[in-house]
Every structure is written in structure tokens, then in C-alpha cells.
Structure 1
Amino acid sequence: MVALRWKRIFLRIHRRGILRAVRFWQTRWGERSLIVVLAICIGGVAAVAAALLHTLVVKLELFGIWLTQAPKQVHEYAWFAVLFILPMLGLLGSFVVQRFLGGPRYAKSLSPLILALNRKRTNIPAVEMINHMLSSAISVGFGGSAGLEAPSVLTGAAIGANSASFLHIDRRHRSLLLGCGSAAAISAIFDSPIAGVLFAAEVLLPEFSVSALVPMMMSSAVAAVVSRQIMGDTQFILAINAPWQANAVPCYFLCGIFCALVGVYVIKTAYFTGDWLKHKFRNAWQRLFVGGSVLCVLLLLFPMMRGQGYLYIEKLFAGDTAGLVASSPLLHWIPSETGILVLLLVVVLLLKVVVSVLTVDAGGDGGIFAPSMFIGAFAGFVFARVVNLTGLIQLQEYNFVAVGMCGVFTAVMRAPLTGIFLIAEVTGSYILLVPLMIVSSVAWFTARLFEPNSIYRKALAESNLLSEDRDLTMLRRLPVRLNLMRNYHVLKLRDPLKKVIELVERTPEEIFPVLDDSGKLLGVVHLEKILAVMLNPKVYELLVVFDLMDPPHGMVSPDDDLGWAMANFEKYNLNYLPVCDADGIFHGFIAKAPIFAKYRRMVREADSF
């Protein structure tokens, strides 16, 4: 009873105070200014959420280190057992959080968010403002091999969507505010405001116009400021770079091709591993046990693949290969340090994506951002080291570590501008902008030859849920049932022509359905054919509707979208399509002209924020 009373009080304050203030602002200063102010607020809140996530992961990592130190007092090698079991504990804790806070439809990837934005569906449950933070923090903090970027983006998107819903913002602008939250999350987690905006524009909201970048820029900039105040002004990845050499430009082109091939391998291996795990072990607890066990073995053998791996990227920049070798004590039975290093490089390139997929699909939570950058850093290092061993040219390996990160990231995400500025910002490699541009563009172009879709859009595109065609994308947002013409006159097979002519004289309709007694569509009669027959009055008494009827070409279902309807319009060269359900029951017509008018209106809305 008390809770109900407080709820009523809150709703009264919301309706009489907050919503009135919002309407006053819109009336006095306009809707666009309100969107910008909300973008700033969303940026600040998303930055706080990202900082909390980062802090929680650090605390859990320190707790995990303490757990591995304590058993040494019992036995010299007892810490191996704790190190082995920690990732499984992280998966179990993350799995429990997902089940209690997220439910069976808990989304770990950005693919559902991309599809929802594509369909203009911006209703995100409020619980997603916290459940991704807790789930990913537990999973990654205890050693799971994944990044924090996707959970941060989903959290920021939830903050933006729920802020818009709470303030009753017009639906046209809710996607934009959702993008503001996502951009702010990337900005805060990486301290990269430009990359945050570009990621939202390239990956989440590609159909928005340039003017829509203004609120996202404000949100991203505020997030960067707030996150620096909370986490301090430190370089995300300590990198060593030098001015790029002109004679190395051909090698940057070749490195872009190599990174593209690695990125395509990442995409295909990620889908193969995830599909195999889900089809082989349909029970979630079985996946948790089997996938978690394989993950624990791999991470015990190769500890450098634990967590986000940014520490080892810094070792690559510093050329500290001895530090990489020392990170895997179980491999010291190999007599040569060079042999260990080669094994580690091969394992990272081939198995990092596998352990990342096992982390997420076995029960944990996380993203592919960090693994892509990790694999890219090693790919760039391997490329430069192999070229140097040939003696043909001496490359700066640390520069290729940076461009390798950019190349593989671009090949996996298909976001070239994001890749360029993300790497430049997180490593401070602005001096390498030209090589980054070369590698990013070559990797993007080459990767598309082998795999046309990004890791987020591949499943959606193959399921015919998403298309790069802007026109088709917009039309797919609307179902046929919302565009039905229900004002029509029904004809029967044996109706005389005289009755049809009388009907034409008093109605402006251009098409008439022919139905049986159960409402099933038998055919259609077009006005053109009726007018042609009217020129010969001698046949009035001889013809019936059956003689004028045409087959119902291009028939669509009420559950189809307008994209499919437009394809039928073009295929059959018609202006009207009949709409019938699976049983053949007629529901009405859809017309081409109103669809074009609606499409033009959608384009205007997309071009303005």
C-alpha cells in the first residue's frame, strides 16, 4: 500500500512537474535545444556508468590476484588451481546476473541493438542500465577474455533510450539520444571522444545526416571530461611511436591486406565457434560447464589471453618480447625463448577469438572490441617482424603494432573512420594518421571481398533482416498491415458486367477484389479492363466478372514489410497489391503512391534531428 502511494506521488510529480517543464522548454527555446541539453546530460551519466564499470573490473582483478597469492602458503603450486578456476567463477557469476536481471532474452551483442535501431524500436528495459555492467565486470574481472566496450555501449544506449522515454521525447529523436548514450560510452571507456561519435555514426546510426552528429559530439565530449575527472588523465595504452618512413608505404598497403585476412578469419571463426557451441550443447548449463572448462584450460596455458590484454599490447609497443615469454610459465619446458614467442604469436592470432567467443557464449559477457585490437596489435607485430627477418627493409615494429590494431579492427567492425581515430586516440599515435588511413582503407576494401558484412551485421544480413540499401532499410521498418486500404467493393464471380459498370460510375476505385463466400481472394478486376469493355455496349449482357478477372499477382501478407511489397510492385509492374493471410483470406490492398509519400516523409525525418 505504501509502495503504491509513493508510485502515485512519483507519477504526479512526473506528469505535473517534469513533463510540464519539458513542454515549456520546447515551446520557449525549441526542440533541438532540448535534444542538445539531454545529450549533454546523457553523456555525463554514461561516463559515470563507464567509470563504475572500469573501477569494478579493476577491483575484481585485484581480488583475483589476492586469491591466487593466498594458496601459496598452503602449497607452492596451489595457486595454479585458483588461476585455473577463476574464469569459471566469472562465467558462473555473470550467468547468474544475466538470468536474474536480464532474463532469457539477454542480449550480449550489439546485433540486436543495430536491428532495433534499424526498425526504429527504441524501447530498452531500464534494467539494462545496470545488468550489462555487473555481468561483464564479473566475467572480465575474473579473467574472461573479452572487452568492456559492447556492455558499455548497451548501457549507454539504455540510458539514452530510457531518458527519452521518461521525458516523452518525440519518437523521431529517440534513436538519436540512444546514439548519444552509445557514443558517450565509447568516449568514456577509451577516453576517445572522436571515435565515440564516429562509432555511433558508422555502426549504429549510418542513415543519420551530418547534422545529427552535433548532439552526439556534445555527449561524447562531456563523457570524456567526466571520465577524466573520475579516472584521471592517463594514456589508455602507453605506446611508442616515431615518424613514419616514406620507404615503408608499400609495406603499409601489404599490412592492410594481411590485417583484412586476419579480420575475416576472426569473423568466420567467431560465428563457427559460437554456432558449434550452441548446436552441440543446447542446454545453457552444459554450455557453461563445457565451454568454461575449455576456456579455463586455454587461459591457464596462455595467461596473456586473459582479460582485455592491454598490458601485453604495451609490451609489444615497447618491444618487450621477453615479457611476453615470461607471461606463460607453463611453456618454459620449451628450450628456446624464440620457440615460445613464435608459439604465443601463433596462438594469439588463431585462438584469441576462440577464447573470446567461449567467454561470451559459454555464459559470460563482453565485447569483441578489445579482442580485435589485441589480435590486430599482434598481427601488425608479426607482419613487421617477418619483413625485418627477410632483410629487405627495416620496419619500425611499434608503428606496425598501432596500424595493425587499426587494420584488424576495421576489417572486423567495418568502421574505417572509427578505427583510425580510435587507435590514434587510445595510443596517442596521431603522428601515424597517414599510415592508419592507408591500412584502414585497404583492410576495409579487402575484407569486403571475402566477407561483405561486419561481425555485428553478418547474422542479420544472412537472415535477410538488414540491408545496406538505405531505401530498403527504411521501408523494412513498416509492416504492410499498417498501410492497408480497407475501402473496397467486393465482386463475385457471377456478377454481371452491368453491375460492375454501375459500381465504377459511383466510386473512384481502380481495382476490385473478387472473393468467394468465405472471403478468400479469387482474383482482381482492374479499372482499365472495365473501361476497355465499356467501349463495346453489345457485350454488356454477355460478360460476367469471371471474364474480366485477372490472377492476383504480387500477393503479400499483412506481416510482410514494405520492402518486400515494393519488390513485388517492381516485379509485376503494378500500382496495387492484394494482401491476404496464410489461409488466403483477403484483407485489403496496398497502393504504391502512398508508400512513396511515406518514404519521402521518413527521409525528411532522418535528415533532421
Structure 2
Amino acid sequence: MKHTSKLHFTILLLTAAAIIGLLSTLLALVLKNITFVYEVSFFLKAKEYPILFFLFPFVALSVIHWLREKVFMKKENKGITEIFETVSNKRNSLPAYKIPSHFINGFLTVIFGGSTGIEVSTVVATATVGSMARKKESRFRKYKTTLINCGIAAGITALFGNPLAGFFFCYEIISKKWNLLKLSAVLVALTVATLLINLVHDGPLFNIHLTGWHLHALPWFLLLGVIAACLSVYLTRCVLFFKATYSRLNSYYSKIVISSVILGSLLFVLPQLYGEGYHAITENMKHAQTLVLTPGLFMLFAAIVLLKPIATSATLASGGDGGVFAPSLFMGAFLGLLIALLHNTFFSAQVIPLNFMILGMGAMLSASIHAPLTAVFLTCGLIGDYTLLVPALLICFVAKFTAKSLYPFTVYTYQKA
């Protein structure tokens, strides 16, 4: 009788995992696709009327502030920190309003030019889907973390098209304590997510063809990993500095105005910083193999890499919803391209710039969130190709451990002394 009861509960939990996987995948796919459509539309309009580069962030941040005060319980979205607090039992569960709060705020932030991405918004919203399932069924009370992981794993899979990225994100970032039942539940959610994205033909974000890589490029790959680690620390410290500085401002509208001016100025000069920046990555991937390094191009790419953290920090410190996922991928792509062009121009290295863009994305992400396996499989999912798996594993681990030795925290793990 006891065995039958346990089997019945296991089936019930796995069924819940499948439903969570389905709902989380749908949520992530809708947010991903509508954000892409409107981000492109608003970006083209802003390029036509540059004054909108200043107005768009002001509108988005003002609406987000109004929604928080009038609709979302006057509670500020704290990103992945909210999940950590829930998993560690500092809070019982993620409240249901976190789903529309992160969905709407993430959407508004990115389409109006906020220099971040929807990844963290998706992670918290889908984690809330899992948390709500725990509230619906009292027997799931002690499986809260399992159900939250089911939602997150499915959401990451939907965003990046790779279930391994979803799995390793849960393992490296959310919870390292696993058992057979938890693993089984997450695998069920991942299976549902994978089936659904294949059913709707949601392909890789970057449609490119890789031709392979050469052993002589390995030293340059390692150098890229070290530089990416240093840059990730700059990104982390920049975000933390802005948040600490803004916390001393009494008026919330002062924060919005200051950020709108900073972000608008940067977007006016460097429109590549608009939103997630994937449009800029795609454009440069098309021409990576034929680009010739000039002083002007060097200045452009260096400015993009060095100013992106400021744009991201201004967005997040003033209430924009997001994190460092998309900024890390963006910075890594342009860093990799710049380093490859420098190698080929001054050292006749004959490396493949496109490979460096892909590996740069993985290295920056790994260093920024201290999750090398997530970065490897997420990057492979972005292009739907495992040609660079071996060098990606190498460079992502080098980047992570170098970054951690330079600064032990990420924006998600930093705690005030």
C-alpha cells in the first residue's frame, strides 16, 4: 500500500513537471517572439527619429515605476535574487504577480531600448510558474525547489533552443543538491520544452555556418578567455556601482531622468547598444570574415565593448527589468571579433573571426555568471552547432576561474558587507 502511494505521488509530481514545462515554454516563447518583433520595430523608428533614443527609455522606466506602485504591490523586481531567497526558504514562495510583473517589465525595458535582455525576466517568471504549482498541491510543499527548477529549465530551453543549457543553468546557478526524483522531474519538463520548440519550428537565434577550427588558434582562444574574464569583472562592478549610487538618490524620478539621459546619449552615438543588441551581433556575423580592421573600426568596437556596461547599469539601476545575460553575450561577440581582427592584422594569425565571436559570447557569459557549462551549451544552442564544443569548454572554464580569482562575486551572488 505504501509503495502504491509513493508511486502515485511520483506520477503526480512528474505530471506537474510536464504541465510546468508546457506553461513555462509557452510563456518564454511568447515573450521572446513579441519582444523581438517590437524591439526591431521600435529600433527602426528610433533610427529614423533619433530623439526617440532619449524618449523611449524615459517612457519605459516611467511606466514600469507606475506599474510597480499601482499594480505590483509596490515591490521592486530583484531578478534572480528573488529565486535564491525562495529556494533558501527566506520566503515561502514566489507570488503569482511576479509572472505578469517580470513579463511586462522585461518586455517594456527591452523594446524601448533598455540595454539588457529578457532572460532574467523569463527565468523569474517561469520559476514563479513552478512555485505556484507547489501552492496548488500541499503534498508538493517540500518539492518547491524541484518545481521551480522545472519552470526555469523549460524557460531557458525555450529561449536558447538547448535543453542542456536549461539543465546546467539550474544545476550551476539555482541548486546543486539533486536526487533521482528531482532529476526525473526536470528531465520531464525539458522533454516537453524540447518537443514544443521543435513543434513550432523555433530555430537558433543566429543562423550561421561554421567551418571548423584549428589547433594553432588555441593560444588565442585562451587569451580571449582571460580578457573576457577581466571584462566581465568590469561589467559586474559597473552594475554594482550604479545600483549603490542610485540607492542614495531620494527621488525615483531623478533616477529615471538620469538614466534616460545616459542611455539616450549612448544610444544616439552607438545605436548598436539598443535593447538586447542581437541585431548588431547578427549584422556583424554576416560580415565577420571580410571585415578589415581600420582605426575607425577599432574605435567603434572598443567603444561598444567598454560602454555597454554603462548602458546596462543605467538601465538596471533605474528599475529596468533584466540582467547580464544578453549584455554578456553582446560584449563577448564584439570582444571576440575585435581580438580576432587584431590577431590577423598585426600577427598574421589567420584565425577565423566568426569562431572568436561565438567563443567570446560563451567566455563572457561564463565569467559573468560563473557557470561554464551553461555558457557552453547555451552558446551552442544559439547557433545550433557543436563544432566549437571543445574550445568552448576550454575557454569557458578558463574565463570562469580567471574571473572568480579577480572578483569572487557575480551580480547575482554579491552581498553587502
Q: 1:25 to 1:352 in 2, by over 3 A?
A: farther
> Which of 14, 36, 41 in structure 2 is aligned with 1:58?
36
Asked whether 1:36 is paired with 2:4, we answer no
Counterparts of 1:405 and 1:66, CA distance in 2: 25
Aligned 1:264-343 pairs, distance under 5 A: 264-279=233-248, 281-320=249-288, 338-343=294-299
Gaps of 5+ in 1: 1-23, 73-78, 326-336, 464-609
Percent identity, aligned pairs only, is 26
Please tell me the residue identity of whatever aligns with 2:33: T
Asked whether 1:444 is paired with 2:414, we answer no
Q: Which one has the largest radius of gyration?
A: 1
Cα shift readout 1:97-152 (whole Å, capped 9, x = no counterpart)? 23333333322321232233123644111111211101111111122111101000
Counterpart residue number, 1:187: 157
Residues 260 and 408 of structure 1 are in contact (CA less than 8 Å); yes or no, is this contact kept in structure 2? yes
> Which of 106, 112, 116 in structure 2 is aligned with 1:136?
106
Counterpart residue number, 2:210: 241
Counterpart residue number, 2:93: 123
Aligned 1:75-86 pairs, distance under 5 A: 79-86=49-56
Counterpart residue number, 2:166: 196
Please tell me the residue identity of whatever aligns with 1:198: F
Q: 1:33 to 1:95 in 2, by over 3 A?
A: same
Please state how far the C-alpha of 1:214 moved relative to its aligned partner. Answer: 2.4
Counterpart residue number, 2:177: 207
Counterpart residue number, 2:80: 110
Q: 1:397 to 1:136 in 2, by over 3 A?
A: same
Asked whether 1:365 is paired with 2:343, we answer no
Gaps of 5+ in 2: none
Q: 1:322 to 1:99 in 2, by over 3 A?
A: farther
Aligned 1:121-520 pairs, distance under 5 A: 121-209=91-179, 212-230=182-200, 232-279=201-248, 281-320=249-288, 338-459=294-415, 462-463=416-417
Please state how far the C-alpha of 1:162 moved relative to its aligned partner. Answer: 0.5
Please state how far the C-alpha of 1:392 moved relative to its aligned partner. Answer: 4.5
Please tell me the residue identity of whatever aligns with 2:15: V
Cα shift readout 1:205-252 (whole Å, capped 9, x = no counterpart)? 12334653221122123123324444x332211234221101112222
Please tell me the residue identity of whatever aligns with 1:451: Y
Counterparts of 1:268 and 1:183, CA distance in 2: 28
102-111 or 347-356: bigger deviation: 102-111
Q: 1:200 to 1:100 in 2, by over 3 A?
A: farther
Counterparts of 2:85 and 2:6, CA distance in 1: 35
Please state how far the C-alpha of 1:338 moved relative to its aligned partner. Answer: 3.1
Counterparts of 2:70 and 2:188, CA distance in 1: 35
Normalised to the residue count of structure 2, the TM-score between the two structures is 0.92
Q: 1:382 to 1:424 in 2, by over 3 A?
A: same
Please state how far the C-alpha of 1:67 moved relative to its aligned partner. Answer: 5.0
Please state how far the C-alpha of 1:425 moved relative to its aligned partner. Answer: 1.1
Residues 25 and 154 of structure 2 are in contact (CA less than 8 Å); yes or no, is this contact kept in structure 1? yes
Please tell me the residue identity of whatever aligns with 1:306: Y
Q: Helix, strand or coil for the counterpart of 2:388?
A: helix
Counterparts of 2:146 and 2:253, CA distance in 1: 38
Q: Helix, strand or coil for the counterpart of 1:30?
A: helix
Counterparts of 2:130 and 2:137, CA distance in 1: 11
Please state how far the C-alpha of 1:414 moved relative to its aligned partner. Answer: 0.4
- Which runs of at least 4 in structure 1 moved beyond 4 Å after TM superposition? 65-69, 320-323
Residues 202 and 415 of structure 1 are in contact (CA less than 8 Å); yes or no, is this contact kept in structure 2? yes
Q: 1:163 to 1:393 in 2, by over 3 A?
A: same
Cα shift readout 1:292-325 (whole Å, capped 9, x = no counterpart)? 22111111111100011112222332235999x9
Please state how far the C-alpha of 1:63 moved relative to its aligned partner. Answer: 5.1
Please tell me the residue identity of whatever aligns with 1:92: S
Please state how far the C-alpha of 1:87 moved relative to its aligned partner. Answer: 2.3
Cα shift readout 1:53-103 (whole Å, capped 9, x = no counterpart)? 12332343355257559xx7xxxxxx2223431222222222222333333
Residues 21 and 189 of structure 2 are in contact (CA less than 8 Å); yes or no, is this contact kept in structure 1? yes
Greater helix share, structure number = 2
Q: 1:46 to 1:25 in 2, by over 3 A?
A: farther
Residues 43 and 274 of structure 2 are in contact (CA less than 8 Å); yes or no, is this contact kept in structure 1? no
Please tell me the residue identity of whatever aligns with 1:304: Q
Please state how far the C-alpha of 1:28 moved relative to its aligned partner. Answer: 7.2
Please tell me the residue identity of whatever aligns with 1:259: A
Counterparts of 2:175 and 2:204, CA distance in 1: 29
427-436 or 60-69: bigger deviation: 60-69
Please tell me the residue identity of whatever aligns with 1:276: T
Counterparts of 1:236 and 1:201, CA distance in 2: 24
Counterparts of 2:265 and 2:195, CA distance in 1: 41
Q: 1:350 to 1:85 in 2, by over 3 A?
A: same
Q: Helix, strand or coil for the counterpart of 1:431?
A: coil
Residues 93 and 139 of structure 1 are in contact (CA less than 8 Å); yes or no, is this contact kept in structure 2? no
Cα shift readout 1:158-186 (whole Å, capped 9, x = no counterpart)? 10001111122332211110111111111
Residues 187 and 221 of structure 1 are in contact (CA less than 8 Å); yes or no, is this contact kept in structure 2? no
Residues 26 and 34 of structure 1 are in contact (CA less than 8 Å); yes or no, is this contact kept in structure 2? no
Q: How many pairs are equivalent? A: 416
CA RMSD for the aligned pairs? 2.5
Counterpart residue number, 2:26: 48
Cα shift readout 1:425-444 (whole Å, capped 9, x = no counterpart)? 11123011110011011111
Please tell me the residue identity of whatever aligns with 1:414: H
